[in-house]
Amino acid sequence: MGILNRFASQWVAGEAMGDGLRRAEEANRRGLGAILNLLGEHHKDPTEIDAAVQEYLELLDAIRARNLDASLSIKPTQCGLMLGEEVYWRSTETILDRVRSMGGFLWMDMEGSRFTDATLAVYRRALAVYPEVGVAVQANLRRTEADVASLLEIGGIVRLVKGAYREPPPVGTANRHETDANYRKILDLLFERGDRFAVGSHDSAMIEYAIEKNRTRPRRFEIQMLLGVRDPLKTDLSRRGHRVVEFIPYGPNWLPYFTRRLRERPRNILTMVRSFVSG
């Protein structure tokens, strides 16, 4: 597990809040913004849910005390959605009150498609009381274009990602090419009808597509990438004058996140095997 942990540190800041904060400080020194996320999902125990909310409140206090260019991103099932929409809303409201008191921004993650409706319902409630709230949307869901159009009508702010959860048809896209086509279609919609959003991608073609669109339709958009992925590209984009934000996960529940990263980038399995061999 020690070797596995060391390899996972490419994508995970560490197990403690201080680890995440140090990585956020490092990102800021490199000219990047930061989004901090406590790992963990599918909580059904109210004690675990309360602990996650308390961790986020303390994290917000630390961000303010250190004057970091950083925000939070919270997971629905970590904050109570497994127990119902109202439980998730109460957790979000508690966190949002602290975010609003410091004039900050809150991102809300998106998980598998069975949680999409409830997640968007809670997001709409949050947006109604505080405008500095965004939600992730996934291009590998065929419904997402319609969801984004609906959110733009009420001033929603979205982070467009391809999607880390396997979603087979008819709910999900059939293959990578359909996902890419859907991503571009949603980017077109955002540049046509949106004002402020995030391009969450490590795909150079998608990023350059957004940059090219911005030349004719200037919008407030930022590029978000995961910790440990395409660091030279982050630096290059920042030097070109684009706002780049690093998504920094941390926490003891890092293994599920780590395995998703391996599935997305199979060649990393070979790197991990080599690390075991070399000790």
Q: What are the distances in angstroms from CA 21 to CA 35, 57, 58, 66?
A: 10, 14, 11, 9
Of the residues 109, 142, 147, 261, only one is catalytic, namely 109
| CA 15/CA 17 separation, integer angstroms | 7
Instruction: Calculate mean pLDDT across residues 53-70.
Output: 98
β-bridge mates for residue 172, sequence order: 141
| pLDDT tens track for 68-78 | 999 999 999 99
Are the C-beta atoms of residues 151 and 144 closer than 8 Å to each other? no
Q: Helix or strand or coil: residue 177?
A: helix
Q: What is the CATH number of domain 2-278?
A: 3.20.20.220
β-bridge mates for residue 77, sequence order: none
Please check the confidence at residue 22 and state whether its pLDDT lies above 70.
yes
> What sign does the CA torsion over 52, 54, 58, 60 have?
positive
Q: Helix or strand or coil: residue 176?
A: helix
Least confident range from 10-19, 176-185, 240-249: namely 10-19
Three-class HEC string of 35-70: EEEECCCCCCCHHHHHHHHHHHHHHHHHHHHHCCCE
Are the C-beta atoms of residues 37 and 247 closer than 8 Å to each other? yes
Polymer length of the chain: 279
pLDDT at 17: 97
What element of type H or E holds 246?
strand 244-250
Residue 159 annotated in active site? yes
CB neighbours of 187 closer than 8 A, spacing ≥ 6? 160, 199, 206, 209, 210, 213
**Token digits for 165?**
């959860």
- What is the pLDDT confidence band of residue 260, given thresholds at 50, 70 and 90? low
Among left, alpha and beta (phi > 0; psi -120 to 50; other), residue 82 is alpha
Q: How does the average pLDDT of the chain come out, rounded? A: 91
Instruction: Calculate mean pLDDT across residues 119-145.
Output: 98
Instruction: Calculate mean pLDDT across residues 10-14.
Output: 87
Are the C-beta atoms of residues 68 and 28 closer than 8 Å to each other? yes
To the nearest 10 degrees (0 to 180), the angle between helices 116-129 and 85-101 is 30
Q: Which tops the pLDDT comparison, 31 or 8?
A: 31
- What is the pLDDT confidence band of residue 257, given thresholds at 50, 70 and 90? confident
What element of type H or E holds 118?
helix 116-129
Of 247, 265, 276, the residue nearest 20 (C-alpha): 247
pLDDT at 275: 39
| pLDDT tens track for 79-106 | 999 999 999 999 999 999 999 999 999 9
Of the residues 23, 98, 142, 159, only one is catalytic, namely 159
- What is the pLDDT confidence band of residue 10, given thresholds at 50, 70 and 90? confident
- What is the pLDDT confidence band of residue 262, given thresholds at 50, 70 and 90? low
Residue 109 annotated in active site? yes
Are the C-beta atoms of residues 135 and 157 closer than 8 Å to each other? yes
Of 216, 254, 259, 223, the residue nearest 239 (C-alpha): 223
pTM here? 0.90
pLDDT at 279: 36
- What is the pLDDT confidence band of residue 261, given thresholds at 50, 70 and 90? low
| pLDDT tens track for 226-242 | 998 899 999 999 999 99
| pLDDT tens track for 155-174 | 999 999 999 888 999 999 99
| CA 169/CA 239 separation, integer angstroms | 40
